[in-house]
Structure 1
Amino acid sequence: MTIHARHRLAAQIHERQQEFDTAHEVQDRRGRPGTAGAPEPKHTVQELLDFEVEWGEKHTGRKDEAIRAVLGLKPARFYQLLGRALDSAAAVAHNPQLTNHLLERRDRSARRR
């Protein structure tokens, strides 16, 4: 599969995921949209990628702390959002080298499982 075909497919998957998420919004016990407590901060694809560039693999132990402090997210949620962001055309447009690197790393990890 060519890199362009991969990105087209990733964009289609991302669009379908957004449609699914909208149709199946999570509700808390009181029936309010979102999770219990404060709403999750919204972050753009560019913000997630820029954070990954800044923190990347350099600061492994402190990265989790930075995710909480800078982005206001739990680390697991950050990686979920980053994974979705990688499947978007916006990620390729913003930083194609990082996006390709992270996609390849994710593919290698999936093949190992």
Structure 2
Amino acid sequence: MPGDAAVPEEHGVPEAEGTPEAAGKPENDPVASEDRGLSERDRALLAMEARGWPGPGAKERAIRERLGITPTRYYQLLNALIDDERALAHDPVTVNRLRRLRQSRRTRR
């Protein structure tokens, strides 16, 4: 059936509802895999890091109030998160910036 997106032409069998293909997203689509992978907390960590802050005190206060964790724990989680390819797919600008900063700190030692 031409034009019927739910039926693959090569198989003639309708795809199961709820699969990435049925939603029009191939399995290897980075956006589709991001939807299946990053938690709400992970997205909140990246959003917190993506915005500008007037000073370190304001950021630490926001981490405690909005995320309910200590700044130390925040940076531990963030450091692990920037190695996750799903985070890179979600916010490549922020993740690449954080990776560069981490690398420059490591090479200065």
Tell me the TM-score range normalised by the shorter chain: 0.5 to 0.7
Residue of structure 2 equivalent to 1:70: 66
Of Structure 1 and Structure 2, the greater helix share is in 1
Instruction: Tell me by how many angstroms 1:60 deviates.
Output: 1.7
Cα RMSD (Å) of the superposition?
A: 1.7
> The residue matched to 1:87 in structure 2 has which SS?
coil
Please say if 1:89 is aligned against 2:80.
no
Give 1:102's match in structure 2, choosing from 84, 87, 98: 98
Structure 1, unmatched stretches of 5+, are 1-41
The alpha-carbon deviation at position 44 of structure 1 amounts to 3.0
1:50 match: 47
Indicate the SS of the match to 2:77: helix
CA spacing shift, 1:45–1:92, aligned 2, 3 Å: same
Q: Deviation per CA, 1:59-108, whole angstroms, max 9, x where unpaired?
A: 32211111100000000000000000000011111110111010000000
Residue 24 of structure 2 aligns with which residue? Answer: none
Distance in 1 between the 2:82 and 2:54 partners?
Answer: 20
Per mean C-alpha deviation after superposition, the further-off stretch among 99-108 and 43-52 is 43-52
Report the TM-score when normalising by structure 1.
0.57
Q: Of the two, which has the highest radius of gyration? A: 2
Deviations 1:8-39 (A, max 9, x none): xxxxxxxxxxxxxxxxxxxxxxxxxxxxxxxx
Q: 1:43 to 1:78 in 2, by over 3 A?
A: farther
Q: Deviation of residue 43 (structure 1)?
A: 5.2
